[in-house]
Amino acid sequence: MPQVLTVIDDRAISLAECTDAIAATGFDPLDEASLAHAALQLRRLGNNRAFLGDILVDELANRHREESDSESYGPQVIMLSRPGEGFFLRANLWPSESDHMYRASGRTPFAFDLPHDHNFHFLTHGYFGPGYWSDYYEFDYEAVTGWRGEPVDLRFVERARLEPGKIMLYRAHVDVHSQLPADALSVSVNVMHTSGAQGWLDQYRFDTGAGCIAALIGQGASEAFIRIAVGLGHAEAIDLARRFGQRHPSDRMRLCAYESLASIAPDFGARDAVWREAEGAGSRLVAAEARQRRTELV
């Protein structure tokens, strides 16, 4: 499960001071000194019991007229800083089953009951409320190819809560969690690690009952672009998708390319031909998915 970090410090700092302090050295969660430094700043920001409320009140009072990239938010996520120096800060809202937002939207928008891993490391802090619950698992990322239905040795660890003041490190490609509603409205504050390679690293949703991969998630902009370009029917886009499918360094992009080509195939035979080519393209992930797609065509 995520590593619980013991950080004892009574100092309170502002959001700007926290961001500047981490930016001064960057955030490398694989480096013990860098990790400890970021966790200390997160602790100090968490000691500031007013900063997040001040942001929300200011935004509501101004009706978002001066909303910036660093202080915009959706229904659950509040962006606290712009990405830079390998990190950004955010806050997440976690409702209880009795909260209106939960009753109006249901569980899915808050990623409850969706066991998944992450393709990035991040620190999280229980800032407000009792904290959300999670069922925690671990798995061996290197032993997984990534196709839907692939058996995975998911090792259940425990059910635990992000309690007030608790700081944890979620480890990329190791920690799997299935989140559950908080007992009362709660807020977590995160230091999110970013890197240029992150968009090409796989992230999975799991079926814990069947012990397998349920879906590949976290697709990037490049995959959306190739789907749109192929869907528009331009000959160069179709040729590019075929080349991507055969030899792109990312297996996920190769699969996306074949999915794009199959989506414009005019009939059963043409779609089968796309997936038959994909089976022999030299990727274990693509071959396994292609066999499933051919079966689903019947």
Question: Is 211 in the same domain as 244?
Answer: no
pLDDT tens by residue, 21-60: 999 999 999 999 999 999 999 999 999 999 999 998 987 8
Question: Is 235 in the same domain as 105?
Answer: no
Which structural domain range is residue 248 located in?
A: 221-291
Last residue of some domain: 169, 184, 217?
217
pLDDT tens by residue, 207-221: 999 999 999 997 788
pLDDT of 260 reads: 97
pLDDT tens by residue, 156-188: 999 999 999 999 999 999 999 999 999 999 999
Q: What is the CATH number of the domain that holds 81?
A: 2.60.120.10
Give φ, ψ of 164 to 5 degrees. Answer: -55, 130
Residue 134 structure tokens: 């999670």
Coil/strand/helix, residue 79: strand
Inter-CA distances, 10 with 63, 139, 217, Å: 34, 36, 39
Last residue of some domain: 187, 217, 247?
217
Last residue of some domain: 199, 217, 235?
217
pLDDT of 169 reads: 98
Question: Is 191 in the same domain as 43?
Answer: yes
Q: How many domains does the chain have?
A: 2
Residue 298 within a domain: no
